[in-house]
Amino acid sequence: MNTKFNCIFSALIIAATTAAPASAEIATEGEWGKVQFYGSLRALVTKEKEQESDVADGISRIGIKGYVNLSDEWKGTYQLEGRIVLDDGVINSDASDYHKRITFVGLKNKEVGEIRLGKQYSPHYLWTVLPIDITFHNPRHYNIRWNASENSSIREANSVAYFSPSYNGLSFGVLAEIDGNDTQSSGVDSYNIAAKYKTGAWQLGVSYFDRSDDLRINDVIKPDADTLAAALQYKADNHKVVLRYQNEDVSDGTEFNTIGFYYSYTLESGITPQFRIYNLDNGIIKGNQIAIGATKKFNKYGEVFIEYTDYDDEAAQLKNRDDDITVGVKISF
């Protein structure tokens, strides 16, 4: 199945790049619609405390996205995105959710909104996690428990989602995951209700995520869990500030509270110093993860970065991680 997917994916990439004009954006557009080939390639050198240095991939990906015009009011939308592992030189090398990324089709109307079917980002991730999630590049620290609910995935497979238009800055989204292949479950395996309000430099996202059945994530059955999250973001005058809170109540009796804070400022030189701290409380142990770094952005196509992540003793115990330093380069198109 993975081989067949890789062949189809490669053929679509070749078709898109052959049809695209020689321009900064690898895309072609006409009365029929638009198709765009895009990618983000991220290579790292990382050194963890008391470990050897390692050349690694920073979750590189390539994809195709676009729309077709169905009528004056309606568009058919689509996105197909796969993982590239730069250090190994392979595409979609793993069968886990971590490597299978985005595959959806949808219908969109400016007045009605958009409905999507397939594997996609949830409103929970887009509006309460994303503002603080991609601020640093080493995937070792993307751990779901710090950034999202470990009892949900970043991208939801077998899902149907609806995203509303913006009503004076207010938008809402709903998602339901329905996995008919799991004999342990019936009906809706999980659902997400979220809202986003944006005014000027401010954005607030709130989300409720419920999984009431035994949903499988990376072939592991997860316990029932209810997750509440909120993220407040301010972005203006080269400043970016994010404050995030999440509460996760798991049916096995554990409860997790996470507070995250992020700040960055972009200098005229294109260098952006940044700072992030997460505090995790599982009712027994409280731990902090602190990251500092700097990114030098040449333009929208390329940047280099350096970052240091520190775990206190409690966080190291909770996450089985240790302090490390990372340098790398990111090329986007």
CA distance 137 to 151: 23
CA distance 303 to 288: 28
Q: For the chain, how far is it from start to end, CA to CA, in angstroms?
A: 28
Report which residue type is found at 167: Y
Higher pLDDT, 100 or 78: 78
**C-alpha 261: how far from its chain's center?**
18
Compute the 3-state secondary structure of the chain and give helix, strand, coil in percent, each to the nearest 5. 15, 55, 30
What residues form DSSP beta bridges with 331? 41, 302
Higher pLDDT, 169 or 319: 169
pLDDT tens digit sequence for 214-226? 555 555 666 788 8
| Domain chopping of the chain, boundaries | 2-332
pLDDT tens digit sequence for 84-125? 888 877 665 555 554 578 999 999 999 999 999 999 999 999
CATH number of 2-332: 2.40.160.10
228, 207 contact by CB (below 8 A): yes
Q: Is residue 151's pLDDT more than 60?
A: no
Question: At 63, is the pLDDT very low, low, confident or very high (cuts 50, 70, 90)?
Answer: very high
Angle at 218 between CA 137 and CA 224, to 5 degrees: 105
Phi-psi region of 99 (alpha: psi -120 to 50; beta: other; left: phi over 0): alpha
Q: Tell me the pLDDT of the chain averaged across its residues.
A: 83
pLDDT of residue 283: 75
Letter string b/e over residues 209-245, b meaning 16 or more CB atoms within 10 A of that residue's CB: bbbebebbbeeeebebbbbbbbbbbeeeeeebbbbbe
